[in-house]
Every structure is written in C-alpha cells, then in structure tokens.
C-alpha cells in the first residue's frame, strides 16, 4: 500500500524562527525512603531549543502538532516559517501547555540510590553514606493573477487563511526563482541558500505552507499549530531545516498511537551506559547531550539515528496535564461575549485562568492569556497588572474602549485556549501509547528526511533510569547499573572510572521494521562487558576469597540465602545490604534533554 507521504519541518526562509528558552521542570521522585532522603530531584536549567513535534497516527490519517519556538531577541515583524507539504492540510491552533506536559512527563531522569552494607556494631548501617559520593501578517498580492497570456503564474496561492496569530498561505510553484521572488515580495525574507533545497522539494511535487504573524499579533501570542492530512506518513524534512540549523541541533519527536513508534529509514541507537557519569549526575545535562551526539554519529548510524527516551502508556502524562492547566471543564467563552471590560478579570478568575493579588503579582494560568489581555484589555500606562486586574472598576476611566471587543475576545478565548486544550485532552485520553525520541543533527547531516512507523512488537522504554551505589565495608563502593552490570568504585579517588577512550559510545545500532524484533547492525555489548571485567579485575573485584559470599542489593548472598545479620554478630565483616526503605539515600536528577551550542565532537 502506498501512502501519500506527509512531511513537515520547522524551517525558516532566512533563519528567522530561532528557538526560545524553556526550562525543564522537576519531576516527583519516588525512589527514596526513610528519613535520609535527598531533598528531591533538582531541575537542570537547560535550554529547550531545537524542534518539538507531536505526531498523532491514526491509520492513514496523521496530524502534526508543531511547537513554534521563537527568539525574543529578534524582530517579530520578521518572523517567517515555511513547511513543505504534499497536499493542502487543515490548519488549527495547538496547545503549548500540552507540549509542556509532554516534555516534563517523559524527560529522561537519571538517579542514584544509596545503600550501605552492615559492617557490625550498633549503628543503623548508614555510616558509609558520607564517603564523597553525594552528587548535588501575511501579504497575498498576486493571488489569482495571470501572466497576461491566460496562464497561471509559476507560483500560485492555493489557500489563504488566518489561524490564530498566523497568516498562512499554501503555495504551488513550477519555478524556484519565481517562488523565491513571491516570498520576498510578500514579506518573507529568504536566504539564497534555500533556493537549491526548495528546488529539491519542487522536483518531488511538494507544496509549501508559509506562515507569518498577523499585523496585530505580538510575540507573546505565538502558539503551536496543528496540520491535519487525510492520508499520510510521519516525516520531518530536515533538508529544509538545515537553512537555519546550528551544529548539533536537537530534534524531539513525540508520537501518540496504539504502539511504539520508531524511525523507518534512520537508525535506532542504544547508548553505552558507561559513558554516563553516574557519580556526578549534577553535570548530566551536558554529559547526556554529548553522549547522544557521539552515539548517533557512530559507525552505521552516521548521524542519521534516534534514541528512544520514553515508550509506554500515555497515562504518564496525566498528572502533568493538570499541573500545566492544559484544559479545564470550567472554561467557558460564552459569558465574555456580552461582558463589560470591568467584568473580564473577575470572570477569568472564576474560571481558574487568572489570579491577581493587589499590590503583589498576577498568575496567568495559560501562556496565551497575557497576550490576549494586552490586545483587548490593555493595562493603562503607569499601572501594574496586579493593581489593574484586581480593581478594573477603579481605573474605569482609563480603560481603552477602542481595544475592547467582547465578541472578538470571546472568540479568541475559545479558538486559542479552550478548543486546543480540549482537543489535547481528547488526544491523550484516546491514544494509549506515547513515544518520545531524540537526536542531535548538524546541517551537513540533513541530507535525508526521517520517516517513522509503528511496531507493535517492541518493549517499553522507561524514562527513569536508576542505578544503585552500595557502600562496602572496606570504604569502597559498588555501582549497579539499571541493566544489572556492576562497576567497582575504589574509595580513592571515589569517582566514575575513566574507561579507555576507544570504548564505543553506542551499545547497539539497530534498524527496526514494521513488525518483529530490531535487527542489530552493530553490537558492542561484549566490548562493554569486557571493559567492565578488566576494570573490576584490576581493582580485585570480586574478592579473590571464594569462601566469602557476595551480597546483592536484595540482602541475599550469591547462593540465594537471606542474610541473618542485623545484630552485628557473625564471622568476618558480617556485611549485609541495607534496604533503601530502611534508611537508604536516593538522589534523582532530571535532565531536560535539550539545548544548543555544543559543537559535535566525534570519537
């Protein structure tokens, strides 16, 4: 069966759609128990830059939600954005809080549980936990005209629409120079480097959807957009994206469907866990991106690969839908259609969208609300928002009545905030499976557009990756990785081992079909296991005495016998593992797998 391909890209004609700064949000940790827990996960304030796209795959139907990221240091009048498409899509307004919920609920979280062997005496076995391992608007002129000979011009406007803050046109062209001229004449700045890339897409019969802010819209009104196609296949045309891309640009893709989604023509990579510094998780934000960058550049991946950061039930997002106020049944645009300006703030507060404290501050519970208020109920000069919105009747004579349009405000509230939020909630309640994938890619590698498909035979991928550090009676420690591999950590220096530089960054490079298990193209697990064995052996681990049973984190010896310690009596050290629920210490640090500015370093 041949599906009509559906491609999109957050590409700009002149690099004008730069990425905005977003911070990762702390996620609740459930790993630690007892009274010696760390204060909780610490957010890593990393730039959320690059591309964030959500695909919803429903058989042959696909919809794409694109989070438009904008650099506030640039001129809003120059904001321009072009997407290659193979058919005219339906356009809708998307939900920015939905992206906040997606990013936060699935962000990779690396953590370290702490526990100690009991080494005799009357203490509680926690004495070894202080050994230094506590890591802290659009012109459309020319539409419908001819060239004087009764034939349509090389570039035609197939659709004109205003969707929220954007004027949108869909263009069809047979001549790349004329296409570039049209864009320039209608306020879309373009880079000459775009011309050969546009030509590639024209040769493949693509249309182009061009976006720019309406003349009345400001940067604070920028919102995601949704493109819906009657038939399609999820694809990101990175060839056009490279016009404005930086080295190691990050691409985050989310997929809602019935099964896990994987790249079709790009590789899938499993990362070597030894490249993560498990004892210094406070630096993992930078370390993680570097690891991914090196892994997707590996042999057989060749810069065309993704890693899976989460794959599992969509319900993981549920608590964050409420946290970020994606939608509330109390929202209702109808009362605003007949409202007086002095009543607006009270109505918004009653629906849970606004909360202001006189003389202090205002809380806006949707990112688009401040922009809508600034357009329809602007704050008088010299007045603070918290004073104005807590007592609009006090400033009645200063209200700009020319700006207030009750019906327009009601319509904008419905189309930009309420309807997108309701649709976002419907999607997360309809589709049971959520996948998050991530890569970094540089302009020189953007030679092929990645396509994606679902595979129902694949396992889930957890986004919480917990290792365990067990303090030994000798003062040394043992780190057990999430996959069960054990790495000995000498007391001096007590840092993560410096494994050989030639150790690969990738554990596996795979290709994955529509069904069945992945096909492994590169398998470095034996090399990784040998590196661990060599390191442990060089540090005399496990101990040479075969009569001394090893102890694992379950409190059982290597023969499966439960340890009878606890009173400090017995032969030798009398060690036992202290369960983390009885005084263990856990540290979990979230990383927002995000950020630009790190030039790719190749192994």
- Note whether 475 and 545 are same-domain residues: yes
- Note whether 470 and 574 are same-domain residues: yes
Residue 52 has phi, psi (to 5 degrees) of: -120, 120
**120-135 residue pLDDT tens:** 654 444 433 333 323 2
- Note whether 580 and 474 are same-domain residues: yes
Evaluate if residue 529 carries a pLDDT over 90: yes
Q: Is residue 81 situated within a structural domain?
A: no
Determine contact, residues 417/331, Cβ cutoff 8 Å: yes
Last-in-domain residue among 428, 450, 484: 428
- Note whether 470 and 359 are same-domain residues: no
The mean of the pLDDT values for the chain is 79
**401-418 residue pLDDT tens:** 999 999 999 999 999 999
Evaluate if residue 27 carries a pLDDT over 80: no
Last-in-domain residue among 401, 428, 455: 428
**72-89 residue pLDDT tens:** 565 555 567 888 888 899
- Note whether 419 and 471 are same-domain residues: no
Determine contact, residues 383/398, Cβ cutoff 8 Å: yes
- Note whether 415 and 475 are same-domain residues: no
Evaluate if residue 31 carries a pLDDT over 80: no
Q: Compare 296 and 277 and report the one with higher pLDDT.
A: 296
**177-234 residue pLDDT tens:** 999 999 888 888 777 888 898 999 999 999 999 998 888 778 888 899 999 987 667 8
DSSP strands (E only) in 497-580:
506-511, 519-523
Q: Is residue 443 situated within a structural domain?
A: no
Q: Which residues pair with 357 in a beta bridge?
A: 361
Q: Is residue 545 situated within a structural domain?
A: yes
**Residue 459 region by backbone torsions, left for phi larger than 0, else alpha for psi between -120 and 50, else beta:** beta
Q: Is residue 86 situated within a structural domain?
A: no
Last-in-domain residue among 383, 412, 428: 428
Q: Is residue 368 situated within a structural domain?
A: yes
Establish whether the linkage from the previous residue to 542 is cis, with ω within 30° of 0: yes
For the chain, the maximum distance between any two Cα atoms, rounded to a whole number of angstroms, is: 102
Q: Is residue 548 situated within a structural domain?
A: yes
Chain CA centroid to CA 567, Å: 49
- Note whether 579 and 499 are same-domain residues: yes
- Note whether 378 and 490 are same-domain residues: no
Domain count, the chain: 2
- Note whether 396 and 500 are same-domain residues: no
- Note whether 471 and 586 are same-domain residues: yes
pLDDT reported for residue 459 = 97
Q: Which domain holds residue 494?
A: 110-135+465-504+524-590
Q: Is residue 364 situated within a structural domain?
A: yes
Tokens 């060839």, located at residue: 239
- Note whether 404 and 496 are same-domain residues: no
- Note whether 352 and 418 are same-domain residues: yes
Q: Is residue 421 situated within a structural domain?
A: yes
């Amino acid at each position: 069966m041949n599906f009509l391909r559906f491609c999109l890209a957050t590409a700009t004609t002149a690099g004008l759609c730069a990425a905005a700064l977003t911070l990762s949000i702390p996620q609740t940790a459930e790993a630690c128990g007892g009274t010696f827990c760390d204060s909780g996960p610490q957010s890593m304030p990393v730039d959320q830059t690059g591309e964030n796209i959500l695909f919803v795959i429903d058989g042959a139907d696909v919809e794409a939600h694109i989070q438009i990221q904008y650099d506030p240091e640039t001129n809003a009048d120059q904001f321009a954005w072009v997407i290659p498409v193979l058919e005219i899509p339906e356009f809708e307004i998307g939900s920015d809080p939905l992206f906040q919920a997606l990013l936060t609920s699935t962000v990779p979280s690396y953590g370290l549980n702490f526990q100690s062997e009991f080494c005799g005496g009357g203490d509680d076995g926690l004495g070894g936990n202080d050994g230094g391992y506590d890591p802290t608007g659009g012109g459309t002129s020319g539409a419908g005209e001819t060239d004087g000979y009764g034939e349509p011009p090389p570039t035609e406007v197939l659709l004109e629409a205003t969707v929220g803050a954007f004027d949108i046109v869909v263009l069809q062209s047979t001549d790349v120079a004329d296409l570039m001229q049209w864009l320039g004449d209608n306020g879309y700045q373009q880079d000459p480097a775009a011309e050969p890339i546009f030509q590639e897409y024209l040769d493949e019969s693509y249309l182009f959807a061009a976006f720019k802010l309406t003349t009345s819209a400001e940067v604070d009104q920028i919102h995601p957009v949704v493109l819906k196609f009657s038939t399609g296949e999820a694809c990101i045309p990175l060839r056009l994206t490279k016009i404005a891309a930086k080295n190691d640009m990050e691409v985050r893709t989310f997929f809602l469907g019935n099964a896990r989604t994987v790249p079709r023509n790009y590789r899938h990579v499993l990362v070597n866990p030894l490249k993560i510094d498990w004892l210094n998780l406070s630096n993992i934000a930078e370390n993680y991106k570097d690891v991914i960058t090196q892994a997707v550049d590996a042999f057989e991946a060749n810069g065309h690969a993704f890693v899976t950061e989460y794959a599992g039930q969509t319900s993981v997002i549920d608590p964050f839908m409420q946290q970020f106020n994606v939608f509330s049944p109390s929202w209702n645009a109808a009362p605003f259609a007949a409202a007086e300006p002095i009543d607006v703030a009270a109505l918004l507060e009653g629906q849970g969208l606004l909360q202001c404290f006189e003389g202090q501050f205002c809380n806006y519970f949707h990112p688009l609300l401040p922009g809508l208020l600034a357009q329809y109920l602007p704050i008088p000069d010299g007045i603070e928002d918290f004073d104005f919105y807590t007592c609009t009747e006090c400033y009645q004579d200063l209200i700009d009545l020319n700006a207030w349009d009750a019906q327009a405000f009601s319509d904008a509230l419905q189309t930009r905030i309420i309807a997108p939020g309701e649709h976002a909630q419907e999607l997360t309640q309809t589709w049971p499976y959520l996948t998050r994938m991530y890569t970094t890619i540089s302009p020189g590698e953007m030679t092929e557009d990645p396509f994606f498909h679902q595979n129902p035979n694949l396992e889930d991928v957890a986004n919480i990756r917990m290792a365990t550090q067990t303090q030994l009676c000798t003062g040394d420690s043992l780190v057990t990785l999430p996959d069960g591999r054990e790495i000995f950590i000498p007391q001096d220096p007590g840092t993560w081992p410096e494994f050989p530089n030639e150790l690969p960054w990738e554990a596996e490079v795979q290709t994955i079909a529509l069904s069945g298990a992945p096909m492994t193209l590169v398998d470095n697990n034996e090399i990784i296991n040998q590196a661990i064995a060599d390191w442990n052996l060089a540090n005399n681990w496990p101990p040479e005495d075969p009569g001394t049973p090893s102890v694992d984190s379950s409190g059982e010896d290597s023969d499966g016998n439960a340890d009878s310690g606890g009173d400090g009596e017995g032969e030798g050290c009398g060690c036992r593992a202290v369960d983390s629920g009885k005084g263990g210490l856990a540290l979990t640090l979230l990383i927002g797998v995000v950020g630009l500015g790190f030039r790719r370093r190749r192994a």
